[in-house]
Chains A and B, each alone.
Chain A
Amino acid sequence: MAKKLPAVDVALVGFGWTAAMVAEELTAAGLNVLALERGAWRDTPTDFAVTFAQDELRYMWRRSLFQEPARQTLTFRNSMDQTALPMRHLGSFLPATGVGGAGIHWNGQNWRFLPTDFIVRSHNEARYGPLPENMQVQDWGVTYDELEPFYDKFEYLCGISGKAGNIKGQIQDGGNPFEGPRARDYPNPPLDMVYGPTLFAAAARETGHKPFPCPAANMSRAYTNPLGVTLAPCTYCGFCEKFGCGNYSKSSPQTTILPVLMRRDNFELRTQCEVLRVNCDSSGKRATSVTYVDTEGREFEQPAEMIFLCAFAQHNVHLLLLSGIGKPYDPKSGEGVVGRNYAYQVVSSVDVFFDDKIINPFIGAGGLGVGIDEYNGDNFDHGGLGFIGGGYLACWNTHGRPIELHPTPKGTPKWGAKWKEAVAKNYLTTATISTHGAVMSYRSNYLDLDPTYRDVHGRPLLRLTFDFGENEHRMSDYLTERAAEIAKAMKPREIHAKKREGHYSVVPYQTTHNTGGAAMGTDPKTSFVNRYLQSWDVSNLFVMGSTVFPQNAGYNPTGTIGALTYAALDAIKSKYLKSPGPMVQA
């Protein structure tokens, strides 16, 4: 029997980026906030210090900072006619565990979505006619203009290094001219640019594009954010994604929020406490508590006035399904909302091999690169192309970690003396252009509970049914071809274009940009939360993170997650706290 604990105002499930933001804003508003985190406490000087953080084997390949599938994983299949099998070890994506969540081990590539990304269905239908029948994309119920102040707030929290391309409608030289209008420039100037991206920028310009430094949560200089927390300058060590930052130069909950939040006496964090379910009252309209289990297997019931699901995208969906909140999605009838609209990211790359140009890939930072945005969203005419959406192309210098990065030209044997020779010859002299494409939502891509496999607590695993659609393959191929053209303009010895071919696979690492499953929107029949990330059914339950994306755009999601969270908090503070209840009438 779960031991019932004294009630709090706000309970947070998970303690990464969104939970830290919610906790900071709501403790400042005077509420008692409790965060429940399944992983351990961790922080810069003790858990990813400069003395040992730069350890590729331990962090990337032995997955030290990530979720352990032994405790929780999901089952996966490409299509409904297959039997889903467990993802036995991590591969395609790397969910976090522990304080700070994936905010610890992200690269820091921090983008805004395009204004048209929030109106994907209405905009594309108006321009190109009806979308394919099985495509389930929908408008978000919130516009770019409404989110702009909150994008800004998150960028200033993080101290993003970048160059504005559009300030209040005025296009800025050197920035991304395709971005939505912003109120002001980034808080910090771009990072210093290394050689590979500089060559890419020149070739992109030569081929008629408008290259710009990518926005990065790696500090181009020391920065003190509006909360008074200071970050140090990035030192280009090349250990960002999959690693914690050792010298306080990458934005994370630890480096931007926790120093202030942890000092507040109306905040408490409990670690190694895993939430098993959210409990509702008999009406099913009000969440009353969460049940969690500690490391000794003891169960506790924690009552709260407001409950926020702030765990990794899929875990929020898993928890809703296990709690019986919201109608589970049924792909056959197309009805139900929990598990609906799962999407991901489609990525590809082109290796650019030089004989005479030393790229030094190890001089890196997670967001260090030059991008172009001509082929993202609806920045170009899709007429006759057979797909909607797009992605950015970028030449990054994020790292030169050799177990992961040892590019070889096409046709090189996979092992032996020739492989060794090719690795030795090309390591220092190869640049890579990446494409980062949107994934639309489809009727047949979804999340539900697995009928067979169980997690460490005996709960059914989440089941993922997902594959790339025609739209993704066409779009990704298109992006890869554009990348190859620019690659050739860099005048290399040779290139190797690596298209994303075949079925989606959980094996090779791609990105941890899993989205959807409890989408936001304007209609309770097709969305789980309203524009304020508030459950339509249970008005004191809120769902944070990319879980609410109705489909994914061609950018990394963190900036948009930050903006949606701050927008929701703004409404919660100005509306909900004054008059708890639904903020949008269905």
Chain B
Amino acid sequence: MSGTLSRRDLLLAAAAIVAVANRSEARSYSGSVPWYPGLADAPQAAGGGGLEFFTEAEAKFVDAAVARLIPADHLGPGAREAGVTTFLDRQLAGPYGRAERWYMQGPWHDGTKSQGYQSRLSPAELYRNAIKSIDGHCRQAFSGRAFAELSADQQDQVLTEIEKGKLKIKDIGPHTVEIEGAKGPHSDTFFAVLMQNTVEGFFSDPIYGGNKDMVGWKLIGFPGARYDYRPYVARHGEKLDLAPVGIRGRPGWNEQQG
């Protein structure tokens, strides 16, 4: 019954609770660099399961669109196979979709190109509005068919129009009715966001729902979330073929049976 058994870790534990509880509040620090065992600002992985943001119809649009932006071909899987739709769904359901970090106060003006994004639509609203506008446009131009129902060539044709900003996206905001006088962005704004997000979903860590089986990284030879290339610095010009590693590892981390 030696009481010295447990003694000191209690102090550490007490300090820790403070550290965790007050992370988002004003705090005073002095005397030492704080640290608490187990504390880690670990990433929030995308959840499994069904769609969190997109409707089924929207998901079909995104699936079809990203499959044209980064198609599956002889080089390997494309954005659709990499799970980019799931990635986008989780992103738009989260803080990015809600533009939580963005300055979203009016007044709203179009501005110049050099002034950047000036739509009052958050990314989630932009997608919702844009998909509605584009599918509406497709139904008109292609006898009632939505974007996802078009041939690959037709889809490429529509995407090219969107890229060039030829379509106007109706700003129906987060609401269901169009607000009078509210100006929607041109479709090139949406295209730029869509392509950027598609590349993100194709090349980001698999924990976010895209880059499934690290297919994006394998396509180009990026070894992923490694932290030590010292053994390779001097190996000039050598193709290293390192297995890509995600934040949650790679298949080799688990004991291979048989």
List chain A positions with a Cβ less than 8 A from chain B.
Answer: 40-43, 45-58, 61-63, 68-70, 73, 76-78, 82-83, 85-89, 91, 192-195, 198, 233, 235-238, 246-247, 258-259, 262-263, 265, 267-273, 294-296, 357-358, 360, 362-363, 400-403, 406, 414-417, 419-421, 423-424, 427-428, 452-454, 502-507
Partner of B226, one of A54, A358, A507: A54
Partner of B225, one of A54, A77, A192, A198: A54
B73 within 8 A of A: yes
CB distance from A419 to the nearest CB of B (A): 8
Partner of B103, one of A53, A86, A414, A419: A86
Query: How many A-B contacts at CB < 8 Å in the complex?
Result: 240
Give 10 A-B contacts (CB < 8 Å), ordered by A residue. Answer: A41-B27, A42-B41, A43-B34, A70-B99, A246-B227, A263-B32, A265-B30, A362-B222, A402-B220, A414-B195
Given known pairs A70-B101, A85-B118, A237-B228, the reply for A272 and B26 (CB within 8 Å) is yes
Partner of A427, one of B39, B107, B222, B228: B222
B23 within 8 A of A: yes
**Do the beta carbons of A415 and B227 come within 8 Å of each other?**
no
**B contacts with A: majority SS:** loop
Question: How far is it, in angstroms, between the C-alpha of A503 and the C-alpha of B113 when the chains are bound?
Answer: 9
**Do the beta carbons of A269 and B28 come within 8 Å of each other?**
yes
Given known pairs A262-B30, A272-B25, the reply for A78 and B112 (CB within 8 Å) is yes
Closest partner residue, chain B, to A400 (CB atom): B222
What 1/0 flags go to B84-114 for Cβ under 8 Å of A?
0000000000011001111111010101111
Closest partner residue, chain A, to B203 (CB atom): A402
Closest partner residue, chain B, to A59 (CB atom): B43
Set of chain A residues within 8 Å of B253, measured between Cβ atoms: none
CB distance from B7 to the nearest CB of A (A): 24
Question: How far is it, in angstroms, between the C-alpha of A43 and the C-alpha of B113 when the chains are bound?
Answer: 38
What 1/0 flags go to B227-258 for Cβ under 8 Å of A?
11110111011111000000100000000000
**Do the beta carbons of A506 and B114 come within 8 Å of each other?**
yes
**Do the beta carbons of A40 and B24 come within 8 Å of each other?**
yes
B70 within 8 A of A: yes
CB distance from A294 to the nearest CB of B (A): 4
List chain B positions with a Cβ less than 8 A from chain A.
Answer: 23-36, 39-43, 68-71, 73, 75, 78, 95-96, 99-105, 107, 109, 111-118, 156, 159, 163, 195, 199-200, 203-205, 208, 216-217, 219-230, 232-234, 236-240, 247
> Beyond A258-B33, A423-B219, A505-B113: 15 further Cβ-contacts under 8 Å?
A41-B23, A45-B39, A52-B247, A56-B205, A61-B204, A69-B102, A88-B103, A89-B99, A198-B236, A235-B227, A402-B203, A406-B220, A416-B69, A421-B75, A423-B220
**Do the beta carbons of A296 and B227 come within 8 Å of each other?**
no
Set of chain A residues within 8 Å of B26, measured between Cβ atoms: 270-273, 294-296
Question: How far is it, in angstroms, between the C-alpha of A391 and the C-alpha of B3 when the chains are bound?
Answer: 67
Closest partner residue, chain B, to A50 (CB atom): B227
Question: How far is it, in angstroms, between the C-alpha of A414 and the C-alpha of B116 when the chains are bound?
Answer: 20
Set of chain A residues within 8 Å of B204, measured between Cβ atoms: 55-57, 61, 403
CB distance from B248 to the nearest CB of A (A): 10
CB distance from A444 to the nearest CB of B (A): 15
Question: How far is it, in angstroms, between the C-alpha of A76 and the C-alpha of B103 when the chains are bound?
Answer: 13
Question: How far is it, in angstroms, between the C-alpha of A491 and the C-alpha of B40 when the chains are bound?
Answer: 47
Given known pairs A91-B116, A424-B220, the reply for A192 and B101 (CB within 8 Å) is no
* 4 A-B pairs closest in CB distance: A294-B26, A505-B114, A57-B204, A427-B220
Question: How far is it, in angstroms, between the C-alpha of A388 and the C-alpha of B257 when the chains are bound?
Answer: 68
**Do the beta carbons of A87 and B103 come within 8 Å of each other?**
yes
Set of chain A residues within 8 Å of B99, measured between Cβ atoms: 70, 89
Question: How far is it, in angstroms, between the C-alpha of A415 and the C-alpha of B244 when the chains are bound?
Answer: 24
**Do the beta carbons of A236 and B229 come within 8 Å of each other?**
yes
Closest partner residue, chain A, to B73 (CB atom): A417
Partner of A403, one of B109, B115, B116, B200: B200
Question: How far is it, in angstroms, between the C-alpha of A163 and the C-alpha of B68 when the chains are bound?
Answer: 49
**Do the beta carbons of A56 and B24 come within 8 Å of each other?**
no
**Do the beta carbons of A406 and B199 come within 8 Å of each other?**
yes
